[in-house]
Amino acid sequence: MNSIRRALVAVFVLGLVRPLAALAAWNKEAFSAKSAGDALKNLGIANAQPSKDLTVEIPEIAENGAVVPIEISSTIPGTTALIVVIDKNPFPLITRFDFKEGALPFVKLNAKVGETSDVRVLAEAAGKYYVTTREVKVTIGGCGG
């Protein structure tokens, strides 16, 4: 009994059991970068090659920049991550998705696009990077109602 209690105390003291928030990593530096170039550099992404196998579906015109749908699918063999960068956003890095065994390199999400901008989607596959770029024109619609 005593040894079990001692082991548990040790576990907590050593900080081996941490709250969920601390366990999940969030790349603060990359997400705080104010330019797309800095964000990519921070993620260690260089020499990204354009690829037709990295498909990005995104409307050319967004009726409102608050919700811009982006659908990404990679058929590049060995894709393990997808990254989205919106060049003109105040903080260009939007997201990084890491795919493990059991998931397909596919994601559809909604992003805020501050103004008409290039949207760059990158894929990481077998240590190399690939990129597909699309432009989204952001408008403000309606009567504002």
Partner 1 sequence: MKLVAIAVTAAAAALLAVGASAQDTAKEIQRYRDMIAEGSPAELFELDGETLWKKPQGPKNVSLEKCDLGVGPGVLKGAYATLPRYFKDADRVMDLETRLLYCMTTLQGRAPEEITKRPFGSADKPSEMESLSAYIAAQSKGMKLEPGLSLPKEKGSFELGRAIFFQRTGAWDFSCASCHGQEGVRIRMQDLPVLYKPQFARPVIATWPAYRVSTSQFVTLQWRMNDCFRQMRTPEPTFGSETTVALIHFLTVTAQGETYNGPGIKR
Partner 2 sequence: MPGPMKMRATLGQGFTDVRVLMTHPMETGQRKDSEGKLVPMHFIQNLTVKVNGKPVIEAQTSQAISRNPVFSFRLKGGTKGDKIEVSWVDNEGESNRTEVALA
For partner 1, the binding residues (CB under 8 A) are 57, 59-64, 66-67, 69, 71, 108, 110, 139-145
**Residue 72 to residue 24: CA distance in whole angstroms:** 24
Contact by Cβ (8 Å): 64, 139: yes
Binding to partner 2 (CB under 8 A) within 87-126 occurs at: 89-91, 93-104, 106-112
Contacting residue, 36, 54, 58, 68, with partner 2 by CB under 8 A = 68
Phi then psi dihedrals of residue 83, to 5 deg: -130, 140
Binding to partner 2 (CB under 8 A) within 4-63 occurs at: 19-21, 24-27, 31
- Looking at the Cβ atoms of 98 and 135, the one nearer to partner 1 is 135
In the complex, what is the shortest distance from the CB of residue 41 to partner 1, in angstroms, rounded to a whole number? 31
Contact by Cβ (8 Å): 131, 50: yes
In this structure, how many other beta carbons lie within 10 angstroms of the beta carbon of residue 4? 8
